[in-house]
Amino acid sequence: MNMRFFGQVPEGDVYEVVLENRRGMRASILTLGATLRNLQVPDAEGNLRDVVLGYDTAEEYYRGDCYLGATVGRFANRIGGAAFTLNGKEYRLTANEGKNQLHGGPDGFFRRLWTPIVKSGTEALFRLTSPDGDMGFPGQVETEVCYRLEGNALRISYRASCTEATPFSLTNHSYFNLAGHAAGPVDDHRLTVRADHYTPTDAEMIPTGEICPVEGTALDLRQPAALGTLWDHPELARTRGLDHNFVLQPGDGPAAVLSEPAGGLSLEVYTDRPAIQIYTAGFLAQAPGKEGAVYGPHHAVCLETQAFPDAVNHADFPSCLLQPGEIWASETVYRFEGAGIAKGRRAQMIYMKDI
């Protein structure tokens, strides 16, 4: 592992930590937002293919509002009305999407400087303290995010503890394009999701509280579907493609599989979280990216493992509360197959048994 200066933001210096393993995979993570900036996998010719979108400068990450590669929290996804009631007390959060809060607020974890800890050439740990009242949330939270390259996979492990009960859910907001970050639209990518149900939302993308079957809808992705067939589907017009929370079925297989047939690369996502938000970047504005790339709508797919959005306001959703004295721990594994990648063992995970 090596660490190098990447740039400056108002809070201080930003560093980039670079990991590499013997399988040829490389990853680089910024101390700003514990952000996955690069994820390179070998292609069929043995060249490294960077499969996540990103920027060239710290300033772009700091000012950007697309969360490219970031660790988002204190609560990933949306909290309706930027408010909730806990133990008889109402908490008002800092809103940043109309009257709602998205991904922990305007100064969420993605915009913080995390403390890096050197582990090895294939593993790096990042720590952050979120003070009591941060973006309106109760209690102080101590958080760790660990990135580790394992064979053909990137494992992201999360741990947290708190001083007061608080809603808590972290995710990684990487934008994946298996043809390469600069390859353009992902129309030919194929996606499978291990979900029989999803959580419908209102016009502001806040869950209605229902848990509905995917069968008979555009969200039935239990068999591989080409993403390009979804862009103009009438059911997905409001979200310009997918931007939906899928309720994961119990099981030891991948939560989602994304593949790019032309290049022969596939990505399997394993997680112990109860849900996954699939976002096909319909609202990604045309803008410059790293290495001269120009990004735009549908140029990538986000695979965000998470608690149910707005779970703190829905008693029928699985609990999202972190309690004092508890250690919150979760893992998500991104495992690659095909192209120039040598065969590796399947990801070893502990999976949820029910929702």
pLDDT, tens only, 138-147: 999 999 999 9
Residue 125 or residue 348, greater confidence = 125
Query: Which of 117, 271, 95, 299 is CA-nearest to residue 193?
Result: 271
pLDDT, mean of residues 47-73: 97
Instruction: Sketch out the chain's domains with CATH numbers.
Output: 2-185+279-338 (2.70.98.10)
Enclosing H/E stretch for 59? helix 58-63
- Residues 32 and 58 sit within 8 Å (Cβ to Cβ): yes
Nearest to 238 by CA among 205, 199, 196, 281: 205
Distance (Å, rounded) from C-alpha 50 to C-alpha 264?
Answer: 15
- Evaluate whether 193 touches 255 at the Cβ level (below 8 Å): yes
The predicted model gives 242-248 an average pLDDT of 99
Mean pLDDT for all residues in the chain: 95
Which tokens go with 288? 């410059």
pLDDT of residue 342: 62
- pLDDT confidence of 90, banded at 50, 70, 90? very high
The reported pLDDT for the residue numbered 351 is: 37
**Which residues, other chains included, contact 216 with Cβ-Cβ below 8 Å and sequence gap of 6+?**
none
Picking from 146, 145, 174, the residue whose alpha carbon sits closest to that of residue 74 is 145
Give the pLDDT mean for 307-336: 98
Separate counts of helices (H) and strands (E) for the chain: 1, 30
Quick one: pLDDT at residue 339?
66
- Choose the weakest-confidence range: 105-109, 237-241, 327-331, 342-346: 342-346
Cβ pair 231, 241 in contact under 8 A: yes
Give the whole-number percent of the chain exceeding pLDDT 70: 95
When pLDDT is averaged across residues 160-187 and rounded to a whole number, the result is: 99
- Band (252; pLDDT cuts 50, 70, 90): confident
Is the pLDDT confidence value at 232 over 50?
Answer: yes
Q: If 0-12 CB within 10 Å is exposed, 13-18 middle and 19+ buried, where does residue 223 land?
A: exposed
pLDDT over 50 (residue 354): no
Q: What is the pLDDT of residues 206-223, one digit of tens each?
A: 999 999 999 999 999 999
Give the least confident one: 27-41, 43-57, 71-85, 163-177.
43-57
Average pLDDT over residues 317-326: 98
* 175 CB neighbour count, 10 Å cutoff: 26
| Residues marked as catalytic | 173, 304
What is the Cα–Cα distance from 284 to 296, expressed in whole angstroms?
5
Residue 1 reports pLDDT greater than 90: no
Phi, psi of 291 (to 5 degrees): 55, 35
The arithmetic mean of pLDDT across residues 80-103, rounded, is: 99
Instruction: Give the pLDDT band (50/70/90) at residue 350.
Output: very low
208: left (phi over 0), alpha (psi -120 to 50) or beta: alpha
